[in-house]
Structure 1
Amino acid sequence: MSVFQHGLVIGKFYPPHAGHHFLIRSAAESCARVTVVVMAADVESIPLAARIEWVRRAHHEQSGVAVVGVRDNLAVDYESETAWRGHVALMREAIACGPHGSAGIAVDAVFTSEPYGAELARRFDAADVRLDALRATHAVSGTKVRADPVAAWDALEPPVRAWFAKRVVVVGAESTGTTTLSMDLAHALRRRGGPHALTRWVAEYGRELTVRKLAVARALAGLRGLPEPSVFDLDWDDADFEAVAARQCADEDSAAQSGGPVLVCDTDALATTVWQERYRGRSTEPVRALAQEMPPRALYILTDHADVPFDDDGLRDGEQLRPWMTDRFRAVLEKSGTRWIEVRGDRASRLEQALAAVDEELGRGWELAAPLG
């Protein structure tokens, strides 16, 4: 049985973490209805829409919980009456836009973990429900997460992890060791343990599609009594590359949700534009659009062809095009504006170069803007 009619949880949720979710669950278990107000300033690095979506996804199964957002660019000053009035006015505005506020249901309980909870509750003429003020139940805060997301990885929900994951993409021409290096890199990161033990590897969907197309072509040839086709006999159209880019993006996003602080990808949609050029002579707008809409890449790793003998595994046909493709990848990566390196040498040397670049990227941190204070 609910103790309160309408509970209120407010915060920046910059980003949402286990402590926030504890507040919301507690409110949902104590109130018939709950309004969660996400308040974000324009100077902050994580968009308001993303924060709202993350909180909604985390609590979509809890009936009566409504998540709304408001832009709050007012300075925080707990000693200022003007500041209090401004912030509370924005909260009331957001509540009114939600289903419980629009129904005219007054807030009768305010759930916080902060000292300001008493004054906030007084201004809503509501009960002050203070939870985990000493952070003994969930020893996490937005400040801690922003300072070191890796240390707080367990306190983050899957979509938040996906946003923070540093996406490292290995690209290169045929038979230049992209799959070998990307798998070696993922394995090396997993061996570090902790959150890195969750490191995911995203396979190249284009290779899967090639295997399937060749198997189907050979089955049809067998039925018709025709000679067995090779990879040279396969037809590739623009729809194939559009499907590859879309699937690659979907697989990447799915892996990021369940992975660690680094996501290792064996190609991506930007690389698909180069492969489409190689087979079709140009890239198409749908593929380019998918490449432009991808989450930011932390690092590209280009595998040079010079130190890797061509290995014809029955799915490759581009030995003579490897120099052109390597040069084309260099040009595309340079234009992308994303940090990238080119690796050379034997397998161990390439892994060493890749790990050093990933560690440098991790050392840069996430460079999130400080919240408006």
Structure 2
Amino acid sequence: MTTHMTTPKTTHATTYKHALVLGKFYPPHAGHHHLVRTAQSRCERLTVLVCASSAESVPLADRVAWMRAVHPDADVVGAVDDIPVDTTDPDVWDAHMAVFLAAVPAPVDAVFTSEAYGDELARRFGADSVCVDPQRTAFPVSATAVRADPVGRWDCLEPPVRAALARRVVVLGAESTGTTTMARALTEHYRARGGVWARTQYVPEYGREFSERKLAALRAERPDADWADVTFATGEFPLIAQRQTDNEDAAAGAGSPVLFCDTDAFATTIWHERYLGGPNADVARIAARGAQHLWLLTDHARVPFEDDGLRDGEHLRPWMTQRFRTELARTGRRFVTLGGPHEERLATAVAAVDALLAEGWGFTDPLPEKR
């Protein structure tokens, strides 16, 4: 038994009181945003219903957050929908509608879709059906295509989604072991690949900027002060870790599928130990929320120590290298140690990053659809 499509498509520019856009948004892309913006231009109130199944690898909460970030004027809500998709079965329709109506109980007078099932969906809501670009001519992309090749569809994604999908690589190590040199070299290496990779971003070490300001402020009071006179308070380290994380998130949203960071919040946990002798729980919590994928540890062996005015820990380098290695292993972080001359380190780093990117993004398939 098949359902009957009784509601005609609306073709004139009616303004509706409350419109609905419904989808998986797995992940959201330019076509989805075009649909939402079109609906928003033609209604007083818009609800966007994000439906996700438990089998899908991107959490519902993430998709809702992404859609809210891109469409702050819409009411974005989410629902878990584990019912198989069969647009030919009225009982399956009834089950889906129970989920939809629980999430969107308010009356709806228009349903905007780009799908063939839009008419039946609108009929069941007692609303007009508005079909938007069903041939995908404005934005020839689909979520299936994005899941299959995120790099090839990178320009179809908005910053919140790019920030979530970007592979984040952190270069960390003891003082004067080449972390900044390596992070910048990797950034330039991937930018040179061109295309979407030309936008590869580099996130500098915020802790260094913070330290420079502390030294400058001290010298404003005492012109003869040097780095040995600078002291740190434990409460400064969570601020450094959070600012580093915020800068990383912003760069990930603006850049390519890979991001290079000169240190991160996890590294800040070790720097707190180095300066204050023990852990800081607030820094550890910030580090635990991180979204990094690979750490590159620069070894201190056979690397000359260069005092640039903000360094005084040559004798601590073996201890710091070992602390980084121990904590990276203890916390289960994926890492590679970089040793030898710069060219050898860079080759090792590129191989590790390429291996990470070659693994893909691991999207699971959505529930199969029968139409």
Bigger shift: residues 75-84 or 355-364 = 75-84
Q: Distance in 2 between matches of 1:17 and 1:347?
A: 40
Bigger shift: residues 178-187 or 329-338 = 329-338
Bigger shift: residues 115-124 or 324-333 = 115-124
Mapped contact 1:238–1:284 kept (Cα < 8 A): yes
Q: Quick check: 1:59 aligned with 2:74?
A: no
Aligned-pair CA distance for 1:109: 2.2
The equivalent position to 2:96 in structure 1, one of 87, 94, 97, is 87
TM-score, structure 1 normalization: 0.92
SS of residue in 1 equivalent to 2:171: strand
Q: Deviations over 1:232-269 (max 9, x none)?
A: 12112211222211211111112112111111100011
Q: Quick check: 1:328 aligned with 2:323?
A: yes
Bigger shift: residues 1-10 or 240-249 = 1-10
Q: Deviations over 1:179-212 (max 9, x none)?
A: 0000111111111122211111111111111111
1:349 corresponding residue in structure 2? 344
Alignment of 1:111-260 (within 5 A): 111-222=112-223, 228-260=224-256
One-letter code aligned to 1:38: V
Aligned-pair CA distance for 1:4: 3.1
SS of residue in 2 equivalent to 1:84: helix
Q: Quick check: 1:263 aligned with 2:245?
A: no
Q: Distance in 1 between matches of 2:130 and 2:302?
A: 65
Q: Distance in 2 between matches of 1:242 and 1:34?
A: 39
2:9 corresponding residue in structure 1? none
Q: Distance in 2 between matches of 1:27 and 1:243?
A: 41
Q: Distance in 2 between matches of 1:302 and 1:181?
A: 10
SS of residue in 2 equivalent to 1:183: helix
Q: Distance in 1 between matches of 2:68 and 2:142?
A: 19
Greater than 4 Å deviation, 4+ residue runs: none
Mapped contact 1:199–1:259 kept (Cα < 8 A): yes
Q: Distance in 2 between matches of 1:335 and 1:143?
A: 37
Q: Which runs of 5+ in 1 are unaligned?
A: 223-227
Mapped contact 1:168–1:265 kept (Cα < 8 A): yes
Q: Distance in 1 between matches of 2:42 and 2:308?
A: 62
Q: Which runs of 5+ in 2 are unaligned?
A: 1-12
One-letter code aligned to 1:28: Q
Q: Deviations over 1:40-90 (max 9, x none)?
A: 122322221221121122122x5xx32211111211122222211111121
SS of residue in 2 equivalent to 1:54: helix
Aligned-pair CA distance for 1:2: 4.0
Q: Distance in 2 between matches of 1:250 and 1:30?
A: 35
One-letter code aligned to 2:42: S
TM-score, structure 2 normalization: 0.92
Alignment of 1:90-105 (within 5 A): 90-96=99-105, 101=106
User: What is the percent sequence identity of the aligned residues?
Assistant: 51
One-letter code aligned to 1:150: V
Q: Distance in 2 between matches of 1:216 and 1:110?
A: 59
SS of residue in 2 equivalent to 1:236: coil
Q: Distance in 2 between matches of 1:336 and 1:143?
A: 34
SS of residue in 1 equivalent to 2:222: helix
The equivalent position to 1:366 in structure 2, one of 344, 349, 361, is 361
Q: Distance in 2 between matches of 1:18 and 1:213?
A: 44
Q: Quick check: 1:48 aligned with 2:60?
A: yes
**Closer/same/farther in 2, CA of residues 311 and 132 from structure 1, 3 Å limit:** same
Aligned-pair CA distance for 1:178: 0.2
Mapped contact 1:170–1:301 kept (Cα < 8 A): yes
One-letter code aligned to 1:367: G
SS of residue in 1 equivalent to 2:85: coil
Q: Distance in 2 between matches of 1:35 and 1:345?
A: 57
